Amino acid sequence: MVAISTEQLTDPVELTRALVDIESVSGNEKAIADAVEQALRPATHLRVERSGNLVYARTELGRDHRVMLAGHLDTVPLHDNFPSRRDGDLMYGCGTSDMKSGTAIALHLAATVTEPVHDVSYIFYDCEEVESDRNGLGIAARTHPEWLAADMAFLLEPTLGEVEAGCQGTLRAQITTTGTRAHSARSWLGDNAIHHAGEILARLRDYQARDVTIDGCTYREGLNAVGIVGGVAGNVIPDECVVTVNFRFAPDRTARQAEDHVRAVFEGYEVTITDLAAAALPGLSVPVVQRFLTQVGRPAVAKLGWTDVARFAELGIPAVNYGPGDPNLAHTKNEHVSCARIVTCADTMRGYLTGKIA
């Protein structure tokens, strides 16, 4: 078993490196979950539980509010970027940005903050980088909903140290055109389905996306083609063409409203929804969130993308994204994180949990 030392637990940078150096591609998180559980079990201020490759810990101090720190343990597949390496302030390696540096901060604070001003829950979960039905946080919401009870939640996803509030929703749909198959030498006997896709592309080209501001955060919507499939053979007029579109929508729309909107844009065509995840409102008016913004010293910005904050939103729990990684580096071969930013984010979060506003 890979063990995390006491010295590593007290240093979020070294702890990040320790986690990065435990390979944990989605579906292979047992070793890292074992290490996290083993690191937390000796902490007398925590109650620690385990479900599969998810580790849950909580304080039970009778405070007025409970906040949650959440981080996923898995990474995308390795790409010649394992194990980690240091180059000055930068730490390179798979998961350094997304999101083992953020997860390390949560683990560091769980082990070292023994008297927080709020009760704190910590959840370290598996399978975030793969299909939704395997997501450990989603499974916990179904099997152990009491673990997710909190007044607010922090998801330590990469945000470059900014508070990114809420998240966009995402919808994927297939827009299908049909025609009549024929020999291309006698094309007038057929009806070319690919040619009919031109109107779909024209609607996408002319689409006017919205900018929506909520709680001072501006969410930019987008409706775009992300794939097109058609054709039978080099001498056949095709009888079907499928255009796949992705709609990133602002949190003032429900998932149903987003679906209705896409169907309206492509009225007259067959529309099949293949994936749909709700957006999350920023929820910045909650006092425990306001206190964290005071701690950071900067206003929140919109999260442009979907994250697991939406799972908390579905449970009525306001949640924000906050972590040291750079989201632009996530899933890249050159993924890295600033060690100085790890320390800054850890200090900011520690100040919030202990009530010591900088």
Q: Return the structure tokens found at 45.
A: 């201020």
Element at 291 (helix H, strand E): helix 287-296
Set 14, 37, 98, 128: catalytic member: 128
Set 14, 37, 74, 129: catalytic member: 74
Which whole-number Å values give the CA distances from 19 to 8, 83, 84, 322, in the listed order?
A: 10, 10, 10, 19
Q: Is 308 a catalytic residue?
A: no
Dihedral of the CA atoms 145, 147, 149, 155 (nearest 10)? -110
Q: Which of 188, 103, 163, 194 is nearest to 318 (CA)?
A: 163
Burial 59-96 (b: 16+ CB within 10 A, else e): beeeeeebbbbbbbbbbbeeeebbebeeeeeebbbbbb
Looking at this protein, which amino acid is placed at residue 25? V
Q: Is 151 a catalytic residue?
A: no
Euclidean distance between CA atoms 285 and 290, whole angstroms:
7
Residue 2 near residue 33 (C-beta atoms within 8 A) = no
Q: Which of the residues are catalytic? A: 74, 128
